[in-house]
Structures are given as structure tokens and as C-alpha cells.
Amino acid sequence: MSWLGLVGHLCTLPFYLASGLVAPLWAIIVLLLVWAGLLGVAVWAVRTRSAWGLATPFLAVAIWLGGVSAGEAFLDWSA
């Protein structure tokens, strides 16, 4: 069942890539590194058949939304 989390996590990549419309390059790099780390967790979950894989897409969306919102609120990022 954790493969479903991996598929869901892969579906979050376009949001991270589209952050370039709002965020500066350094923030995009940080976000993509976080996404890659979560990808590693998702792959680990699939290999070990852990239920934690189902949490990775939700974490990815929460981190992306929180990061972009915080950048907009505190660092004056805008489209």
C-alpha cells in the first residue's frame, strides 16, 4: 500500500517546480532538496512495506505550502 504514497509524492513535484514563479533560486533549491529527502523516505517505505509511505505526499504538500506562504509573508516573495 505504500506504493500509493510514492505515486502521490511524485504528483507533488510540479508544485515544487512551479515555485520558481514566486520563490528565489536558493529557496527552490532548498525546497527541491526537501522533496528529494521525502522521496527517499517514500522509496524506503515501499521497500520495507511501511505505512509511513502514505504520509509523504501530505508532508510534501504541507512543507511546500508552508514554505511558500512563509516566504510570501516574511520575505516579500511575490509573483
The x, y and z cell numbers of residue 39, run together, are 522521496
Per-residue model confidence as pLDDT tens for the chain (79 residues) = 889 999 999 999 999 999 989 999 999 999 999 999 999 999 999 999 998 899 999 999 999 999 999 999 999 998 6
Asked if 58 and 45 touch (Cβ cutoff 8 Å), the reply is no
Give the pLDDT of residue 2.
86
Give the pLDDT of residue 1.
80
Contacts 24+ apart (CB under 8 A), 14-21: 15/61, 15/64, 16/60, 16/64, 19/64, 19/68, 21/79
